[in-house]
A and B are shown apart, each in its own frame.
Chain A
Amino acid sequence: MTDRPAHGARTAQPAAFDAAAAFRLAALLLVAALVLQPLLATLFGGFKDLGELRTNPFGLPDDWQWRNYWDILASHRLWQVLGNSMAIATLTVLLTLAVSSMAAFAFAHLQFFGMRYLLSYLLLGLLFPAATAILPLFIKVRDLGLLDKHWGVVLPQVAFGTAMSVLLLRNAFRQLPVELLDSALVDGCGYIRYFLYVTLPLSRPVMTTTAIIVFVASWNNFLLPLIMLDSDSKYPWPLGVMMYQGQYSSSWQLVLAFITLTILPAIALFLIAQRQIVAGLTAGAIKG
């Protein structure tokens, strides 16, 4: 993608250009302010006391209440919900990658009667909204004895993420040169060893992208844990922050500090891996 300067070869009149540029900048700054204001109000609101939230809604805190944040950071609660989210997301990512890379490999390299139908069957998963079957899913998870266990969230998440992951991975696996596979098979290397020692190592980028998409989806998932988990000690952070709000609904400054601390990991991950995340989320969406 070559990016050209704003007006290409055209020789715009300087004055007109400046007005357009100023208008553009003003529009962008206005939208940016509207986007950031609630986030900054949350961040700084966590440093205020309750009274100042009312008297000083937009400014920086007059008197920084570091205690709000320290108390939460020192509490078991924050780390427990973040730890639960981490455990659920990690299990979901590992299992999704394992299951869908195997299936994607088979779909990419093996031609048997019926494979095409099996792939279409799996890709139906791209169409189905998770919410439609949530009650039967609840009953199924209950009957399997997985209710109120992290696995009860992980397994359905893997199942719902499989279609998109298989699609992304299969397309990437097919891009690898076919000659590699041919010569490996002639040399007596079986499919499975080829998969483990050639396909997977060569597919690190797409595996990373898939992992990030699946991780973010799991980290932010609300509906499945809401329905499958009962005990506070098992809650991932979206349920934890809802519960905290319910409990401290009269102390918004604490709720704001808690929200800030729970969204920081996601924001940090986004800033570190923004290129992959944007590419991954939009690519995932486009493939979907």
Chain B
Amino acid sequence: MRMASEGGPSLANGPMWRSGLVTAAIMLPPALILFTVFVILPIGEAAWYSFFNWDGFGRPLHFVGLTNYLQLLGDSAFDHAVADNLLIIAVSLLIQLPLALGLALLLSRRQIGTAVFRLIFFLPYVLADVAAGLIWRFVFDGNYGPISSLAVALGAGPVFLLADPRWAFSAVLAVIVWKYFGFHMMLYIAGLQGIDRDLYEAAAIDGATARQRFRYVTLPQLAPMIRLSIFFSVIGSLQFFDMIVPLTGGGPLNSTNTMVSFLYYFGITRMRVGFGSAVGVVLFVICVTFAFGYRRLFMRND
């Protein structure tokens, strides 16, 4: 995001320079202080607290070194949470993004009804995760939910998807696709609309088939947006939390935790500040490593 223009007047010194300095001294501190106090300091403190066994009262005195991290390594619930995060990433990349791209292709040009379809597909993204989670908790409910009622009407027994450790997380994954594909579709539509139409005409004149036009015009032109959408998918998947609480609460048998819901249920609700901070640090390192690595590798020129 570097802009070539130098915004202000270039008055090297004198009264304007002085008044500029005063202005900066007035305008910058509120943002910088808030950001430092509520974002940067807590991250540093998380690293510090993660070496202690602390219930949050008094001062952290009981230094335990790497114990919290070692405990985390051997914790099967945490392993499961990490695996669930990886599953979310896989489903986002392999199912959600192709679906979003396909629908974007169908809706990128203005035809009758496209506006309505775009609106409908974007709607789940606008809903709060909690509301979406509760709605789907009802849909999956074994006693009163539509899916179970349908199963009963077809002669099968009632289905308790979210109570079954084998199926609960698949159900959660379905809800994730439902909730977020519309956002990625909008990104792709924005990207498709930015493609120069002349490229298609040139390709058509050269006798390219529809498949070839997609392969050699659309995909390369859309690549920056695809890279961006993958970036959001992965970062969002790593931090996934809100919908777990209304859907499953991490259960049954801790089979549907993500790293953040693990942090919530095992760190925050039990006030294990050191242990929870260690989870936070692990998450932080994963996210930041991914963000920097991905940008360096794939988004250099975007």
Contact = CB atoms under 8 A, between A and B. Distances in A.
Which of B32, B127, B138, B264 has most chain A Cβ within 10 Å?
Answer: B138
Interface string A149-168: 00000011011101100110
B34 A255 contact: no
Contacts of B239: 129-131
Contacts of A90: none
A17 B131 CA distance: 41
Contacts of B90: none
Given A31-B103, A128-B43, A156-B38, A238 B131 contact: yes
B149 A222 contact: no
A118 B19 contact: no
Interface in A221-249: 222-223, 226-227, 237-238, 241-242, 245
B42 A136 contact: yes
Given A45-B138, A102-B28, A163 B35 contact: yes
Given A122-B35, A133-B42, A266 B127 contact: yes
Given A39-B123, A135-B280, A160-B38, A278 B20 contact: no
A215 B130 CA distance: 17
Contacts of A287: 1
B139 interface: yes
A186 to B, nearest CB: 8
Interface stretch (B70-78, B79-87, B161-169, B284-292): B284-292
Contact of B135 (A6, A42, A121): A42
Nearest to A219: B128
A136 B45 contact: yes
Given A131-B239, A133-B280, A138-B268, A8 B35 contact: no
A5 B111 CA distance: 7
A15 interface: no
B46 A125 contact: no
Interface residues on B, range: 35 or more
A208 interface: no
Given A103-B28, A270-B123, A255 B197 contact: no
A104 B242 CA distance: 31
Contacts of B187: 282, 285-286
Contacts of B288: 127-128
B16 interface: yes
B129 A222 contact: yes
Interface in A1-57: 1-6, 8-10, 24-25, 27-28, 31-32, 34-39, 41-42, 45, 50, 53-55, 57
B176 interface: no
B172 interface: no
Contacts of B46: 132-133, 135-136
A181 interface: yes
A125 B150 contact: no
A131 B283 contact: yes
Contacts, number: 305
A135 B276 contact: yes
A140 B280 contact: no
B131 A139 contact: no
A189 B122 CA distance: 46
A251 to B, nearest CB: 10
A256 B134 CA distance: 9
A236 to B, nearest CB: 10
Interface string A201-219: 0000000000000001001
Given A1-B193, A110-B8, A259-B135, A132 B31 contact: no
B217 to A, nearest CB: 13
B32 A103 contact: yes
A185 B283 contact: no
B186 interface: yes
A222 B6 CA distance: 40
28 contacts: A8-B197, A31-B103, A35-B178, A38-B136, A39-B123, A45-B138, A102-B30, A109-B7, A110-B8, A110-B20, A122-B31, A122-B32, A130-B239, A133-B42, A134-B276, A136-B42, A136-B46, A162-B31, A191-B23, A222-B130, A226-B245, A241-B130, A241-B134, A245-B134, A278-B122, A282-B186, A285-B232, A287-B1
Given A109-B7, A222-B129, A242-B246, 7 more contacts: A57-B150, A136-B42, A142-B56, A158-B38, A267-B127, A270-B123, A286-B228
The 5 A-B residue pairs with the shortest CB-CB distance in the complex, in nearest-first order:
A159-B38, A133-B42, A220-B128, A136-B45, A103-B31
